[in-house]
Amino acid sequence: MTFKKIIIAASLVLTVAAAAFAEEPKNTSAAAGAPITAAAPTSSTEVAAVSPAAQAPVAAAPVKKRELKANKVVTLSMFAVIIGITLGVVIWAARQTKTAADFYAAGGGITGTQNGWAIAGDYMSAASFLGISGLISLYGYDGFMYSVGWLVAYITVLLIVAEPCRNAGKYTLGDILSFRTDPKPVRALAAVSTVAVSTFYLTAQMVGAGKLMALLVGVPYKTAIIGVGILMVGYVVFGGMTATTWVQIIKAGLLMSGAALLSVLVLAKAGFNPIYFFDTIVNSPDIQDHVSKLVLKDGITLNGIDAGQRFLEPGLFLKSPLDQISLGMALVLGTAGMPHILMRFFTVPTAQAARKSVIIAMFIIGTFYVLTTLLGFGAAVNLTPQGIISVDPGGNMATLMLAQQLGADIAPIMGDLFLAFLCSVAFATILAVVSGLVLAASAAIAHDIWVNVIKDGHADQHEQVMAARITSLVVGVVGILIGLMAEKANVAHLVALAFAVAASGNLPVVVLSLFWRKFNTAGVISGLLVGTIASIGLVMVSPNMTYPMKVAAGAKNVVVAMEKKQAELPAGQILSEKDAKALAKAKVDEKLTGTSMMGLEKPLFTLKNPGIISIPLGFIAAILGCLLFPNKRAEEMFDEVYVRQNTGLGMAKAVDH
């Protein structure tokens, strides 16, 4: 492909994207309240009336319903700048991408520092930026637990998979698993697992992009999905891993800058006094009222300081200790099995660079999650949970609302600028993550299935690169179609599915393949199949699904509590407007009937994350498969694998296949 053709193609992509974003909306009301990520909880019974941000324990008074609408001209202008910069990167990267090693692993030429920023960019998704801070703003401490899990995950990556994977000197999960096993069935199954994990995660990100654009800028959902899809396909098809890496680096820098700026403004509102900041949370009448309604669903009555203190304690969202343990297992172990994260270690030239990249990523991600925690609690104090819920019941807009308000406190135009900048950062975040996912899925199909299974490894460089580009285009188009079909679906469980499959299917076979002499083909197949099927099956019968009758039962508790409160009021007095609306909504919800998409009235599996069951099942199945069907050749080849994974001998850089 000539440079002139690349310029023309990139210009076409930019033109189509600009036209898509400029199209006037027809109807965005249906999409506006849908959750963006798995971090988004289900809608609660809180009301739309809101109170001003509470900085002191004074009586809360409803003022007005909050609104969140970005300045379209300013926001789209910032979008255009970011898109223009990243497309420039793609044009440059396309000139560097000539071989399969260039396309899949950037020729092994990414430095440890660059790869660390790229890993952070790949990892800090919309779920992190919007979902986690929103979860904290509505559920306090439990939202913070998500941050801890994702940060600690990189200790597992550093200690177990980073250096051995880099020293494998390959491109995909299938390369690691097939070294001393029967390559064709192993590569095929590894590719299926990679595509499944990538699709789950990709769908959640695509739907998030559509909802974000519809809610904030008024761009129709379908137009937004197509625009994001065109851009991600352009990044991957033309630029491969080099372009994807630099898009992720740019996105990580923007994300850290935005989070740091907003955190400084939150701390400034509290006089840079953390004690005062958390004391304000406990004494906020709006937070107290919000918590009192949350615990009412469980038949518990809390008021005043007790309710405020409860916001800083575990159990408002993750009510079971087992659920927290299971979630932690999935986050900590799932990251090390994520295909798009594993691919990043094939891009560095040395094992030392692989370790360095993980350490840098841990520092960046750790700092980021400290900032998101601050933003979540800052949103609860300055916006009130009721105000956040009035815009989005899932809380995903909390950070963007906070940016708009804190900016407007400085000057009205600053509110528009801050919101536009954060919207652009969120958009860039989604673009970077989906590009990495498309690259991982296309590599699995093109490299593992086409080149190594169908062509039996006999394909020249031109054919390999063409296969990779065609596959990336197909995966991107399929991602767009899935995103369009999922417009009205609740995709919150898909991120849980992605991490559960990665932790239960991928991680056991990767670890055992690298470190257990007796591991063989039967172990890979049994571990992948059992871990994947168990994790998907348990999620589909878990509380992640919607159970109308369960919602109705929770609403009945609210009705009983509110009617009791009404009965205790002096004669002639009625419930406050907020309580009256909560009662009215609960009366509607208690009439809900029907079953989940699996035909169940209530969850068969009570935990929201299946990790505590499915991860051990994956390991057990892999071990039993090896013991029942031993393979002498696999055992004999372990010494070579062991030497290479510890020294990099014979695999100093990414190799061409």
pLDDT at 515 over 80: yes
pLDDT at 495 over 90: no
CA 183 to chain centre: 31
pLDDT in tens, 422-479: 888 888 888 888 888 899 999 889 988 988 888 888 888 888 888 889 999 999 899 8
Helix axes 398-410, 351-383, angle to 10 degrees: 70
| 407-429 mean pLDDT | 87
Task: Give kind and range of the element (H or E) at residue 193.
Answer: helix 183-216
409 within 8 A of 148, measured Cβ to Cβ: no
pLDDT of amino acid 649: 66
- Residue 61 token pair: 């008074």
pLDDT of amino acid 47: 27
pLDDT of amino acid 1: 43
pLDDT at 178 over 80: yes
What are the residues whose beta carbons fall under 8 Å from the beta carbon of 612, sequence distance 6 or more? 322, 325, 326, 329
pLDDT of amino acid 318: 77
pLDDT of amino acid 508: 94
Q: What is the dihedral of CA 350, 337, 252, 111, to 10 degrees?
A: 10
pLDDT at 172 over 90: no
Inter-CA distances, 216 with 23, 406, 415, 426, Å: 14, 17, 14, 11
| 169-198 mean pLDDT | 86
pLDDT of amino acid 494: 77
pLDDT of amino acid 169: 59
Lowest mean pLDDT segment, chosen from 58-62, 347-351, 512-516, 589-593: 58-62
C-alpha 438/C-alpha 473 separation (Å) is 9
Lowest mean pLDDT segment, chosen from 16-30, 63-77, 259-273, 370-384: 16-30
- Residue 432 token pair: 């970077």
pLDDT at 266 over 60: yes
**What percent of the chain shows pLDDT beyond 90?**
24
| 369-388 mean pLDDT | 92
Of 383 and 585, the one with more pLDDT: 383
As a whole number of Å, the end-to-end CA separation of the chain is: 21
C-alpha 463/C-alpha 45 separation (Å) is 57
pLDDT at 35 over 70: no
**Greatest C-alpha distance within the chain:** 87
C-alpha 109/C-alpha 347 separation (Å) is 6
Lowest mean pLDDT segment, chosen from 5-9, 279-283, 296-300, 531-535: 5-9
| 203-228 mean pLDDT | 83
- Residue type at position 103: F
C-alpha 202/C-alpha 491 separation (Å) is 11
- Residue type at position 639: D
Count the alpha carbons within 13 Å of 51 in the hemisphere toward its beta carbon: 24
| 644-649 mean pLDDT | 72
pLDDT of amino acid 127: 65
Domain 3-38+79-547+595-647 has CATH 1.20.1730.10: yes
C-alpha 438/C-alpha 203 separation (Å) is 11
pLDDT at 5 over 70: no
pLDDT of amino acid 66: 66
pLDDT at 504 over 90: yes
pLDDT of amino acid 277: 92
Lowest mean pLDDT segment, chosen from 4-18, 259-273, 545-559: 4-18
- Residue 557 token pair: 């508790």
pLDDT at 337 over 50: yes
pLDDT of amino acid 183: 87
Q: Where are the domains of the chain?
A: 3-38+79-547+595-647
Lowest mean pLDDT segment, chosen from 32-36, 151-155, 177-181, 521-525: 32-36
* Among the listed residues 33, 31, 51, 50, the one whose alpha carbon sits nearest the alpha carbon of residue 42: 33
pLDDT of amino acid 345: 86
What are the residues whose beta carbons fall under 8 Å from the beta carbon of 529, sequence distance 6 or more? 189, 505, 621
pLDDT in tens, 398-407: 999 999 999 9
pLDDT of amino acid 273: 92
Other CB atoms within 10 Å distance of the CB of residue 315: 17
pLDDT at 24 over 80: no
pLDDT of amino acid 637: 87
pLDDT of amino acid 328: 83
pLDDT in tens, 68-107: 777 888 888 888 898 899 889 999 998 888 888 889 888 8
pLDDT at 167 over 90: no
Task: Give kind and range of the element (H or E) at residue 477.
Answer: helix 461-485
pLDDT of amino acid 492: 63
What are the residues whose beta carbons fall under 8 Å from the beta carbon of 569, sequence distance 6 or more? 575
Other CB atoms within 10 Å distance of the CB of residue 471: 23
What are the residues whose beta carbons fall under 8 Å from the beta carbon of 429, sequence distance 6 or more? 124, 125, 126, 129, 251, 255
- Residue type at position 470: I
- Residue type at position 92: W
C-alpha 265/C-alpha 639 separation (Å) is 56
C-alpha 270/C-alpha 283 separation (Å) is 14
- Residue 515 token pair: 């470190």
C-alpha 383/C-alpha 397 separation (Å) is 11
- Residue type at position 597: M
C-alpha 501/C-alpha 338 separation (Å) is 9
**Residue listed under structure tokens 């900048």:** 421
pLDDT in tens, 613-623: 999 999 999 99
* Among the listed residues 380, 127, 364, 112, the one whose alpha carbon sits nearest the alpha carbon of residue 260: 364
DSSP conformation class of 525: H
